[in-house]
Amino acid sequence: MDIEPPSGILLHGPPGTGKTLLAKAAANETESNFLAVDGPELMSKWIGESEANVREIFETARANAPCILFFDEIDAIANERDGSQNDSGVTDRVVSQLLTELDGVDTLENVIVIATTNRPTLIDEALLRPGRLDYQLEVPLPDQEAIREVLEVHTRSKPIGEDVRFVELVEQTEGWSGAEVEALCREAAMVTFRDVAAETERAEVVDAVATATIGHDHFERAIRLLETDESFVEQRSE
């Protein structure tokens, strides 16, 4: 079909919906190297160093092709350029360097750039034009069917009791992200562990935990604990 694959993909959506996991899965499925970049770490107060960091990252990706170059929370380094000098022009220069690397003279042979953001409206529009991060995919919060599958994944290796009613748990966690559902499964296991530890003689705790199961009540209590956890609530409101 003479179709050139996109050189840049932007995954956007709420926190905890699996954007990073999707990028890693893409690298695994295509048997590509995976090079993750923490955006803020590229920034430097020294003139020219931030742009040099960007060039070095892309050079490393080209040297290790096939490669997926992953920028997490790219809005931290690629805000809309406004010409202000609040940051000594570092952001403008970094964005310009990103544009050069994405569609400049040196082509990205067998290198795909995947970037994620929770706030796509903050990204400089020039990065979203054809030939750059022009392939944009929304990664939304999971629906009820997806929540059920996330629950199954994160309880697969856990000793789940026969009384656990997953249908009810799915309804109670509607609107939760995948990361939050994972946190629920982990907290339910912790609730179970604390119950066993509190009710068992110290010398017998290990054996008691080995035979314990996570019941529906443990999940209910875990939900209540998470919903009263300030950091959890704050994260959900962002």
Give the integer Cα–Cα distance in Å for 156 and 152: 6
Whether residue 153 sits in one domain with residue 108: no
Q: Are residues 159 and 100 in the same domain?
A: no
> In whole angstroms, what is the distance from residue 141 CA to residue 12 CA?
11
Per-residue pLDDT tens for 71-108? 998 988 887 766 554 555 677 888 888 888 888 656 77
The boundaries of the domain holding residue 93 are 8-138
Say if residue 44 is in the same domain as residue 153: no
CATH assignment at residue 211 = 1.10.8.60
Residue 33's pLDDT is 96
The position carrying tokens 């009613």 is 165
Do residue 98 and residue 133 come from a single domain? Answer: yes
The angle that helices 216-227 and 230-237 make with each other, rounded to 10 degrees, is 70
**First-to-last CA distance in the chain?**
43
In a domain, 226, yes or no: yes
User: Taking the model in full, what pTM does it have?
Assistant: 0.82
For the segment 107-154, what is each residue's pLDDT rounded down to a tens digit?
778 899 999 999 888 898 889 888 888 899 999 999 999 999 999 999
Within this chain, do residues 25 and 77 fall inside the same structural domain, yes or no? yes
In terms of domains, do 64 and 43 share one? yes
Peptide bond preceding 14: is omega within 30 degrees of 0, i.e. cis?
no
Residues 118 and 179 in one domain: no
From residue 142, alpha-carbon distances to 16, 73, 178 in Å are 10, 20, 7
- Number of separate domains in the chain: 2
- The residue among 93, 108, 138 that closes a domain is 138
Q: Which residues contact 131 (CB under 8 A, 6 or more apart)?
A: 7, 8, 102, 103
Same domain, 125 and 192: no
1 within a domain of the structure (yes/no): no
Domain containing residue 98: CATH number: 3.40.50.300
| Position 14, amino acid | P
Domain identity same for 133 and 153 = no
Q: What is the dihedral of CA 69, 70, 73, 78, to 10 degrees?
A: 10
CA angle (146 as vertex; 141, 152 as ends), nearest 5: 130
Are 103 and 7 within 8 A, CB to CB? yes
Same domain? 63 vs 122: yes
C-alpha span between 73 and 16 (Å, rounded): 12
Tokens linked to 11: 């995954």
Rounded Cα–Cα distance for residues 184 and 192 (Å): 12
Q: Rounded CA gap, 164 and 220, in Å? A: 10
Residue 2 lies in a domain: no
pLDDT confidence tier of residue 59, bands split at 50, 70 and 90: very high
Confirm whether 193 is domain-assigned: yes
Is 16 contained in some domain? yes
**Structure confidence by residue, pLDDT tens digits, 22-40:** 999 999 999 999 999 877 7
Domain boundary among 86, 110, 138: 138
Q: Which two tokens stand for residue 171?
A: 């309804």
